[in-house]
Structure 1
Amino acid sequence: MRRLEDKIALVTGGGAGIGRAISETFAREGAHVFVADIDGDAAKTVADAIVKANGAATAYAVDVTDTAQVKALMETIKGAHGRLDVLVNNAGIGERADFRHMDDESWDRVWQVNVDGTVRCAREAFDLMRASGKASVINLSSVMSAKHTRQMSVYSATKGAVSALSRSLAVEYAPYGIRVNTLLPGYVETALIGRYLSNPMIAKALLTQTPLRRFGEPQDIANAALFLASDEAGYVTGASLNVDGGMGTTL
């Protein structure tokens, strides 16, 4: 028996990187995955690959900063399946800039995707998850929510907000059979941070801060998400799981 057999899952930011790895892993474990991404072509590429591998997936283009689009996505899932068993709020962006010179537009853009997008999806999916009776929400935060470096103020602030939101929702959603947990990845080799890791000096410094002495891979995060999504984590809610090679334990 696969660990997510017959589950209905939604992964935002599912068109690349960590989101793609989670989507493909969930599908291999038996879920029908809605691969949602602002880049509709990327979402379709992932969904097509899943179907080609004998999995079940639906691609959906959505901007999580747009309430109407998020509502439409949930209506699509409702019409097709009537419930949602797993929601992964993975869509996110970063902005590296000196705080003193960051303009309002840049700050708001990161906040709207990372925080407001998570809020919208968790809120608009509530009825579908309540219909499941045994649903799981997995919010992607970051080790940067507690471990800080220069020029990452807005990213760290948004991920700290996601972590706090997750703990609150774990309490609010528990009476409805909905678990809410948080994943805190360290530095994972994706396009989002690839431009930083390509600098040998930066890469060396980050590896020095990582006890396991390697960067994460998207599959590392997908494996942790699979556990939180599965019935094996049936008594786990309000938890924050670091998947960071030990980076969060260093000074």
Structure 2
Amino acid sequence: MPRLQDKIALITGSAAGIGLATAQVFAAEGAHVYISDVDGEGADRAAKDLLAKGLKASAMAVDVSRGQDVSALMRAIEQQHKRLDVVVNNAGINVRTEFRNMTDADWVRLREVNLDGIVRIARDAFPLLKASGRGSLVNLASIMGHRGMRTLAAYGATKGAISALTRGLAVEYAPFGIRVNALAPGFIETALTERVLKIEAFSNALLEQTPLRRFGTSEDVARAALFFASDESAFITGAELAVDGGMQATL
């Protein structure tokens, strides 16, 4: 039997990249996936592609930094399904700049999406996850929450906060049958990383720090998300799984 048969799953930031790969994997495993993204047209295309394959999907335009968008998303899911079995808190952005040159506007935007958005989804999805009785919340942290790198200090701060939030929520949500875990991807080949990974000296240096000697794919992260979403991880909560080719092991 598919590992997510008849589950209702929400993946934020899922019109492309890691989120899209996760939606595709979850749908193939039997879930009805909600594809939510600030790119509403991209979300619609992704959902239509899944529907054309006979899979179950819905799409909504959602900016996780806007409370009204998140509230509307939860109302729509409640009206149609009354529950959520899985939430993958994936939506995020990056602002690469030397920290001393970062503007207040850059920091606010980074925080509003990467941290406030994660918090808002984790909070507002609680009643629907509780209704499931066996809910799973998966937060996307990052290896950058555990190591320092130039131009990524602010990004790393938001991701480090997600790691701490995951541990706290795992304890708080456990009495309601909700498991909370995090994924910490390393360098994954997506549109967000394409520009920097094309810099040969930079990419070679990163590969030297990666024991598996390759960059990750969106599917690598999606498969790890599937583990946390499924009953295969039924006795795991408060954990963070590095999906980084071994990079953390070299620290």
Normalising TM by the smaller chain, what interval?
over 0.9
Aligned to 2:127: 127
Question: Structure 1 residue 171: deviation in Å?
Answer: 0.5
1:166-177 map, 5 Å: 166-177=166-177
Q: How many residues align?
A: 251
TM-aligned CA deviation for residue 95 of structure 1: 1.0
1:13 aligns with 2:17: no
Output aligned runs, 1:32-43, within 5 Å. Answer: 32-43=32-43
Measure how far apart 1:249 and its partner are. Answer: 1.2
Unaligned runs of 5+ in 2: none
TM-score if structure 2 supplies the norm length? 0.99
1:115 aligns with 2:115: yes
Structure 1: give runs of 5+ residues left out of the alignment.
Answer: none
Partner of 1:152: 152
Question: Which letter does structure 2 place at the counterpart of 1:33?
Answer: V
SS at match of 1:14: coil
Deviation per CA, 1:179-225: give whole Å up to 9, x if none: 00000000000001111001111111111110000000000000000
Q: Can you list the C-alpha shifts for 1:86-111, whole angstroms capped at 9, x where unaligned?
A: 00000000111111111111011111
Q: Give the secondary-structure state (helix, strand or coil) at the position aligned to 1:74.
A: helix
Shift in Å, 1:250: 1.2
In 2, Cα distance between equivalents of 1:39 and 1:95: 18
Shift of 1:53: 1.4
Q: Which amino acid aligns with 2:100?
A: R
The amino acid that maps onto 2:246 is: G
Q: Please name the residue that 2:204 is paired with.
A: 204
Instruction: Find the residue that maps to 2:192 and give its secondary structure.
Output: helix
Among the aligned pairs, what percent are the same residue? 55
> C-alpha separation between the residues in 2 aligned to 1:108 and 1:6?
38
SS of 1:191's partner is: coil
Deviations 1:128-147 (A, max 9, x none): 11000000000000011102
Residue 24 in structure 1 maps to residue 24 in structure 2? yes
Find the aligned partners of 1:203 and 1:53 in 2 and give their Cα distance. 36
Q: Render the CA deviation track for 1:6-33: whole Å, top value 9, x for unaligned.
A: 0000000000000000000000000000
Q: Which residue of 1 aligns with 2:100?
A: 100
Cα shift readout 1:103-160 (whole Å, capped 9, x = no counterpart): 1110111111000000000111110110000000000000111021111011100000
**Partner of residue 54, structure 2:** 54
Q: CA deviation at 1:45?
A: 1.3
SS of the aligned residue for 2:189 comes to coil
CA RMSD of aligned residues (A): 0.6
Q: Which amino acid aligns with 1:177?
A: G
Map Cα deviations across residues 53-96 of structure 1 (whole Å, 9 max, x no partner): 11100011000001111011000000000000000000000111
CA distance in 1, matches of 2:67, 2:86: 20
Match of 1:213 in 2: 213
TM-score (norm 1): 0.99
Residue matched to 2:63: 63
Amino acid at match of 2:238: G
